[in-house]
Chains A and B, each alone.
Chain A
């Protein structure tokens, strides 16, 4: 949101939260505090503001950048997640693979088609339940920045749910990204390289000596690390593809049969496998370095090279700044973040701290147009605060309608981070319709997703403590004038969520 606290802006780390209040129009929070409260989370709420106030800004920021490992969700949200009963990826993928095999053996074609549909439905359920869990975390976790960065990294290391059995891998993939979301970039990168969802999606599971598949090798450099135009060549793509031969998936509980000389080179962890029999052991020249052919250590060496390259520091910093600060982030901001990235050996939390402490961030971030995920989540968070919704299906369908549904982006580049992709005429209009649904009543959010379940009474409360303590004073005069004309609370909510202020 555009928050006009300019005259009262107080330095981030020293400023008091409460300002001397000469009149009704004085906000309780300074501009920078409000900005962080809104942008490092999936949307400001009165409860989050109170938490920040109790902790102090410094402690709150430290907590968000270095959250405890444990979730600590509200009990209602945690029990909804527990009720999903998501199974470990190893079990799921092996089960689904067995089902495909059984399905293929069915001779009657009607029965086989029916079994095929049931199989697809089960996979869809996996994806839906994963989205369910993620939305509950995104809406209610106190470790908000970790959830925001988990979305960001999923999008950065994008996979699309409908390819093969990736739907069964999503929950684990998200947990993997989440564990490294604020850690070291090098570890994050390797965790995706070792994940079956990525190996399936970008086809490295079928990349073997003599049957080279360059898909993943190319995208690692182009999208995940160095960035387009950073100087690597087609020869580097081929070299990396050869280095990555044998990096794949193995569902079998027993190791592959290998010649005695190859056995020590085998690496297995969960579904991940580096199979020496599929690896190209020749020496490679990669990014000007000679990489001695010796097995998985080549992969580690190549990842070290690209993860620590200045091009990667710049590419990742720019992308983070684009997401949080501005469509075209100031080069000075990207420079500061890149320096931190290099000095800290890719410490993501340190890069984020550099960003939020930079005046360029404060100057620009309030004007950044929300993508649909931020728009919908910030609206639901604001409307219901800590009152945990009982059904995420309406949220999932809003996100799908706004074309930023979870796990739905086809291509490895992820959803776009710039406004021009989201502020098209038809898309803004769809937001108004959704604003009406969120603002007009409980919209099915409090009717559990089970047959015959009754809707529990709930009404969105946007004119809450946060609104009176800070939001109201930030609105443009035109918005305030229109809100004064609202004829009912539903009307007021719809208009507020439709306002240009709330789109930012």
Chain B
């Protein structure tokens, strides 16, 4: 007897929900593909989605502030790019995110974050990934995307990480994780696959082994198409731009609930302004997101929602090292072909000293669980009881993002 998930999937519609390795396979509730991008290290939101309407910003960031739109006709590349009267975009994102903004395909949610006040990266990343109330005991085996996968039928989750991340840790079937930086053809060939499959017959891991070969093939297929492109003389992308393309290709193979993390945002020292370290990281991130959208193509991009988050924002004032320290409120991004973008969502306050949280950071006016809860309600049509299984005791808010 052999297991073939594709055959099972085909028959699933006729049979109703079918369980393989503990996961229910059935027609999905929605065509939407969701990708969560976690910027680990707390990106400096105030210098990316910039409150250029605030004099206070320029007052407290003498070295880091990015020039107001229109203020540097000599070097327009060093100016922030106006989004509205209050906010502007970092120039490193002009070629990538600005077109999306103009097409109303990206929305920004300023003053977003958690009620975790530890200002600890690990602690707050955990808080977000677990999506549990910070009051009470943590269950490290229950991430919120794992709970989402459990609440949906027909979901095919994947983490583009070396390790199954906390957000996908669950009590149910294990979520495949596949790092994107593994190059080359898998060395285990058809001959080995047949023999290994034979060895696992009747073993409790038989289904996982078969699933493993499928995931591996899906990812390898996605990656090998790249070398075809390279053969035609295309420039090979690097870093997150390459990841963006690979993620798109893998998700086109049917994965509809995905997670990836991008590190390097903990800018305590010399983070730069319009140019420099943070600008370089941003440029790469923006190119990766656009590469992802382009690779998907208009139809799939229309069905895709990307949420970009980070554990917290950074101190609103620059520190003595031309950097910023751990803060509180951040700015989240929601992108997709059918997102109600081109605008800011969620409550805002005027950016001035009096509105800073603890006279130090952006306040949090939109809780991450409320945001995701509202989004899930819209995308997946969850009722209150079902949402409560994903974010117990959170209050979902509808930010009209989709």
Contacts and interface: CB of A to CB of B under 8 A. Distances in A.
B10 interface: no
Nearest to B40: A410
A411 B122 contact: yes
Contact of A482 (B164, B195, B202): B195
B270 A112 contact: yes
B186 A482 contact: no
A494 interface: yes
Contact of A426 (B122, B178, B270): B178
A424 B205 contact: no
A78 interface: no
B270 A109 contact: yes
A346 B201 CA distance: 44
Interface of chain B, main secondary structure: loop
A195 B278 CA distance: 35
Contacts of B196: 432, 482, 495, 498
What interface size band does chain B fall in? 35 or more
A176 to B, nearest CB: 22
Interface in A413-436: 413, 416, 420-421, 423-429, 432-433, 436
Interface centre among B141, B166, B188, B201 (most CB of A within 10 A): B188
A104 interface: yes
A24 interface: no
Contact of B216 (A429, A494, A495): A429
Contact of B200 (A420, A424, A481, A500): A500
A334 B213 CA distance: 38
A424 B174 contact: yes
B389 interface: no
Contacts of B214: 425
A413 B140 contact: yes
Contacts of B187: 433, 436-437, 440
Contact of A495 (B21, B195, B270, B321): B195
Nearest to A413: B140
Interface string B175-214: 1111100100011100110011011111101001111111
Contact of B201 (A401, A478, A495): A478
B205 A423 contact: yes
B162 interface: yes
Interface in B317-355: 321
Nearest to B170: A420
A500 B162 contact: no
Contacts of A487: 191
A196 B126 CA distance: 24
B137 A429 contact: no
Contact of B270 (A113, A400, A411): A113
B205 A432 contact: no
B208 to A, nearest CB: 5
Given A411-B126, A424-B174, A425-B209, A432 B188 contact: yes
A429 B164 contact: no
B177 A424 contact: yes
Contacts of A391: none
Contacts of A144: none
What 4 pairs between A and B have smallest CB-CB spacing? Answer: A403-B163, A429-B212, A424-B174, A425-B211
Given A425-B174, A433-B186, 15 more contacts: A109-B270, A215-B120, A229-B137, A401-B162, A424-B174, A424-B177, A425-B210, A428-B208, A429-B216, A432-B192, A433-B187, A433-B188, A479-B199, A485-B195, A494-B188
